[in-house]
Amino acid sequence: MTKRLPIVVVGSGTAGSLVVSQLAANTSREIILIEVGQVSPYDDQSRFMNTLEQADFSSCVSTTLTDGGDPMSYRQGQALGGGSAVNGMLLTGDAPVAVEGLTRMAELSDCGQMSKALLDNDGRLSRLWWNAGRWNPGRAVQHLVEEGRITVVHDHVTYIDHSKKRATAVHTASRAFECESVVLTAGALSTPEILLRSGLTRLVPAIGEGLQNHPTISFTVKLAQKATVQFDTCVVKDIAMSGDSVGLITTFERVGMNDEENALLSVSLMNPSSRGAVWISDSGVQCDFNMLATKRDRVAMREAVNQLIDVAISKPIQSLATSVFIDDEGTPLSHLSNMTNDELDAWIDGNLTLVSHATSSCSQSVDSNGKVIGVENIYIADASVLSSVPTVTPASEVVVESLRIAHILVQEFA
Ligand SMILES: Cc1cc2nc3c(=O)[nH]c(=O)nc-3n(C[C@H](O)[C@H](O)[C@H](O)COP(=O)(O)OP(=O)(O)OC[C@H]3O[C@@H](n4cnc5c(N)ncnc54)[C@H](O)[C@@H]3O)c2cc1C
């Protein structure tokens, strides 16, 4: 009998770690997991900025936020566990059954001064991906390696070889892995990049199209007293704008690991309709989120910024701030007073900021089972297949969707 070739899973982030765990537990197939990042030793660190700013566990990709805008750095997890190894740990929606017990509601004692001030502004305590430690599904992968159940290769996948509408091998910078099937879980920017670099555009529809993210504006709050707390963020405030647009105001106790004198006050549009793309040009891979391209998003963001201003000038925030700035240059909040809509729109365009919530870049490239259309044996199970960016912080929906596809793959590979 000829030996079956392995299943190759690309990327061990939030989705990939769960997919591999399901396949290892419920099939007897040989599994090779290729993940460029290493094991993070920071799962006991509750202040996420301390983890995020360890250069070895995240990487930056250049993207634009608006058509024709300046390039900015999009930060993504690069570790066993991917985004879940470094993220802000907020779960602003309900906890999916699949992660029951692995998250907990933040408590008043977790709150720093900024969180408390947002609570006093009709904010609410958020759920945290933390329960006596960070929830990082990469830890389960480590156990599978220790048990000899899977092989993990730390390398960078460049493209997939294919013949007669079948993937035949996964290539990394240094070697090729023959495979029976490929499961792509490299995240919303890397998964389409790999498909594009594999020359699959003639077989597969809409690779990279439909990319979404949460457009965000942040103010810097110069603090009267330095922040010393357990969590950098744990309170949110839901806001409603015209039509069905919803937003989320969040506070961060500091702007970075080494700056406890300044805090952040941010607002994100949580259900944008604008969509961007990932594509390949002569200069390499390109990403544009194309934020605020629809009139609906434009109006909603303007209203969201006005609601952020209301929070910034509220008594609870003013009582702990010496000043509030609207940009890195120290421009005061008063600069936004009496702006016309056109002026405010222009200011928003110049000051949009990035959150690492990219999704949906391959949502039209797969069928409902996560199988890539036009190819027999490539599947996608990460944030790129979500139909739209979630109206809550995205990791929970990535978990639910990746587990749904993993259960289908278990039947497929049984
Ligand atoms: C800084 C930050 C803060 C965030 N805050 C929150 C939050 O508070 N709450 C929330 O719910 N969500 C948050 N998120 C988003 C959440 O973590 C992501 O939505 C989620 O991790 C996406 O899962 P994924 O499996 O699609 O991709 P990822 O988790 O990004 O996993 C992709 C994996 O693939 C690997 N990879 C990529 N390319 C290659 C390649 N070519 N070869 C081999 N390996 C490759 C990467 O190293 C990574 O491990 C945050 C993310 C970041 C980065």
Residue matched to tokens 């892995």: 177
Domain C-terminal end among 311, 328, 351 = 351
pLDDT at 229: 81
How far out from the chain centre does Cα 156 lie?
A: 19
Confidence check: pLDDT of 129 > 80: yes
Stretch 124-153: mean pLDDT, rounded? 96
**From 17-31, 48-62, 285-299, the region with the lowest mean pLDDT:** 48-62
**Is position 301 within any domain?**
yes
79 lies in the same domain as 194: yes
pLDDT at 227: 75
Which residues have any ligand 1 atom within 6 Å of their CB? 10-16, 34-37, 52, 75-79, 82-84, 86-91, 156-157, 185-188, 190, 194, 356-357, 382-383, 393-395, 398
pLDDT per position as a tens digit, 250-264? 999 999 999 999 999
104 lies in the same domain as 247: yes
Stretch 62-77: mean pLDDT, rounded? 92
Q: String of b and e for 124-134 (b: at least 16 CB within 10 Å)? A: ebbbbbbeeeb
CB 231 within 8 A of CB 110: yes
pLDDT at 1: 57
**Is position 286 within any domain?**
no
152 lies in the same domain as 168: yes
How far does residue 355's CA lie from ligand 1's centre (Å)?
A: 12
The domain total for the chain is 2
44 lies in the same domain as 83: yes
**Is position 285 within any domain?**
no
Nearest protein Cα to ligand 1, atom 15? 357
Nearest protein Cα to ligand 1, atom 14? 87
pLDDT at 282: 87
Sheet containing 124-125: order of strands: 124-125, 235-240, 246-252, 262-269, 216-223, 321-325
Stretch 284-298: mean pLDDT, rounded? 95
Q: Which tokens sit at 56?
A: 């070895």
**Is position 324 within any domain?**
yes
Domain C-terminal end among 351, 380, 401 = 351
Q: Which tokens sit at 312?
A: 């910034």
**Is position 279 within any domain?**
no
146 lies in the same domain as 40: yes
82 lies in the same domain as 163: yes
Nearest protein Cα to ligand 1, atom 1? 87
pLDDT per position as a tens digit, 397-407? 999 999 999 99
The number of beta carbons lying within 10 Å of the beta carbon of residue 283 is: 6
* Confidence band of 54 (pLDDT split at 50, 70, 90): confident
309 lies in the same domain as 223: yes
pLDDT at 99: 87
Nearest protein Cα to ligand 1, atom 31? 13
Residues with Cβ within 8 Å of 160's Cβ and at least 6 positions away in sequence, in order, are 167, 169, 170, 171, 182, 194, 195, 198, 200, 378
pLDDT at 2: 65
CA distance 251 to 117: 9
30 lies in the same domain as 81: yes
How far does residue 187's CA lie from ligand 1's centre (Å)?
A: 6
In this structure, what DSSP letter does residue 244 have?
A: T
CA distance 31 to 5: 9
Stretch 74-99: mean pLDDT, rounded? 95
70 lies in the same domain as 56: yes
Stretch 212-239: mean pLDDT, rounded? 94
pLDDT per position as a tens digit, 328-337? 899 999 999 9
pLDDT per position as a tens digit, 167-224? 999 999 899 999 999 999 999 999 999 999 999 999 999 999 999 999 999 999 999 9
Q: Which of 20, 22, 35, 268 to mutate to test the pocket of ligand 1 (most atoms within 8 A of CB)?
A: 35
**Is position 50 within any domain?**
yes
| CATH of residue 227 | 3.30.410
Containing domain of residue 315, as a range? 90-128+216-271+292-351
Stretch 54-82: mean pLDDT, rounded? 92
83 lies in the same domain as 94: no
367 lies in the same domain as 338: no
Q: Which residues pair with 178 in a beta bridge?
A: 169
Q: What is the mean pLDDT of the chain?
A: 96
Task: Report, in this order, helix, strand and coil percent for the chain, each rounded to 5.
Answer: 25, 30, 45
Q: Which residues pair with 160 in a beta bridge?
A: 170
**Is position 1 within any domain?**
no
Q: Which tokens sit at 372?
A: 């890539």
Q: Which of 19, 60, 61, 78 to mutate to test the pocket of ligand 1 (most atoms within 8 A of CB)?
A: 78
Domain C-terminal end among 334, 351, 368 = 351
Kindly report the three-state secondary structure assignment for every residue of 360-405: CCCCCCECCCCEECCCCCEEECCHHHCCCCCCCCCHHHHHHHHHHH
Q: String of b and e for 220-257 (b: at least 16 CB within 10 Å)? A: bbebeeebebebbbbbbbebebeeebbbbbbbbbbbee
CA distance 324 to 336: 12
The closest alpha carbon to 274, from 287, 291, 286, belongs to: 291
11 lies in the same domain as 53: yes
Confidence check: pLDDT of 353 > 90: yes
CB 95 within 8 A of CB 127: yes
End-to-end, the C-alpha distance of the chain in Å comes to 18
| CATH of residue 191 | 3.50.50.60
**Is position 282 within any domain?**
no
